Amino acid sequence: MYETPELDDDVLVRTHEIRVHDTEAFEGMRAAGKLVAQALDMITEFAVPGITTQEIDDRIREFTLDHGALPACLGYKGYEKTVCTSINHVVCHGIPGDRVLKEGDVVNIDHTVIVDGWHGDSSRMYAIGEINTRARKLIDVTYDSLEAGLAMVKPGNTFGDIGWAIQQVVEANRMSVVRDFCGHGIGRLFHDSPNVLHYGRRGEGAVLKTGMFFTIEPMVNLGKPHVKVLSDGWTAVTRDKSLSAQCEHTVGVTEDGVELFTASPAGLFRPKF
């Protein structure tokens, strides 16, 4: 004889359903979002010619641990670093290492922390020294597309509205949205339902409800949207070697719109050229 185990309906598994969180969860996400933003603020002064991506990883890991948080990427599906550092034609998931950043590089640093069980996930672009006009334009369009997506976040709108708004901005500038990676639900789970696409049609997809938490993290290429993953199993690059940029916020849906959990306390989210 055995007793049927009680099934907890709030276990940490991803299902097709989109979770709706309570007030306490918002408090948890505020703390996690603030810490990841502070880590990305902290690294700004070090994102200069001569630094290696490994030094960036070390500084962010130490900062995170010193603040009593856990680096979510470290050990995640076998990933061995704290952050992703995606340089120039690297779309996402670039692995920190010996590479020395040089004048003219554009780098995305993507970091996720866990604070009291809640995940804060954010990434930004960093311009290394002086960057050229095309690179600036790409970064501007990428940030503008994220803002257009964020502007669609309110109860009653759909995930398709978010993707549509991002795609409009990118394609109006003759750039392309990467299709192979998307944003995601987030909370006590790092990657929860739904997949948040950065392209789409107005009115399609799930309806946004107060209490949903997710990331929006558009990847934008100057050339074609196609990517390939290198033999390290992580590094995604543009197939045509064109420049790529990304930025990411973790947000919550509120009664009157959106709460940005990962806003920069120092006002450094968008790089200044």
Residues that bind ligand MF3 (CB under 6 A): 73, 76-77, 79, 84, 93, 110, 112, 121, 217, 248
- What would the two tokens of residue 92 be? 């996402």
Work out which of 86, 142, 158, 215 binds Co ion, going by CB under 5 A. 215
Q: CB of 78: closest distance to ligand MF3 in angstroms? A: 8
Nearer to ligand MF3, 164 or 181 (CB): 181
Residues 182, 183, 188: CA angle, nearest 5 degrees: 135
Nearer to ligand MF3, 19 or 93 (CB): 93
93-132 residues near Co ion, rule: CB under 5 A: 110, 121, 123
Q: CB of 88: closest distance to ligand MF3 in angstroms? A: 18
- What would the two tokens of residue 33 be? 């979002």
Of all residues in the shown chain, the one whose CB is closest to ligand MF3 is 73
Q: Cα(193)–Cα(267) distance, rounded to whole angstroms? A: 30
- Quick one: what does residue 192 bind among Co ion, ligand MF3, none, with the CB cut-off 5 to 8 Å set by partner type? none
Nearer to ligand MF3, 26 or 79 (CB): 79
Nearer to ligand MF3, 62 or 130 (CB): 62
For tokens 């390290």, name the residue.
Answer: 232
- Our finding on whether 192 is near Co ion (CB under 5 A) is no
- Quick one: what does residue 77 bind among ligand MF3, Co ion, none, with the CB cut-off 5 to 8 Å set by partner type? ligand MF3
Q: CB of 252: closest distance to ligand MF3 in angstroms? A: 16
Nearer to Co ion, 165 or 216 (CB): 216
Q: Cα(224)–Cα(241) distance, rounded to whole angstroms? A: 9
CB within 8 Å of 145: residues ≥ 6 apart: 165, 166, 167, 169, 170, 177, 198, 218, 220
Sign of the torsion angle spanned by Cα atoms 186, 169, 137, 224? positive
Find the farthest-apart pair of alpha carbons in the chain and give their distance in angstroms, rounded. Answer: 72
Nearer to ligand MF3, 131 or 220 (CB): 220
Q: CB of 214: closest distance to ligand MF3 in angstroms? A: 11
CB within 8 Å of 81: residues ≥ 6 apart: 57, 73, 74, 95, 96
Q: Cα(160)–Cα(196) distance, rounded to whole angstroms? A: 9
Q: CB of 95: closest distance to ligand MF3 in angstroms? A: 8
Q: Cα(33)–Cα(13) distance, rounded to whole angstroms? A: 22
| 173 contacts 132 by C-beta, under 8 angstroms | no
Q: Please choose, out of 167-175, 193-201, 233-241, 247-255, the segment that lies near Co ion by the rule CB under 5 A.
A: 247-255
Nearer to ligand MF3, 121 or 144 (CB): 121
* H-state helical runs in the chain: 23-43, 53-66, 133-151, 159-172
- Quick one: what does residue 182 bind among Co ion, ligand MF3, none, with the CB cut-off 5 to 8 Å set by partner type? none
Residues of the shown chain interacting with Co ion in the complex, contacts defined by CB under 5 A: 110, 121, 123, 215, 248
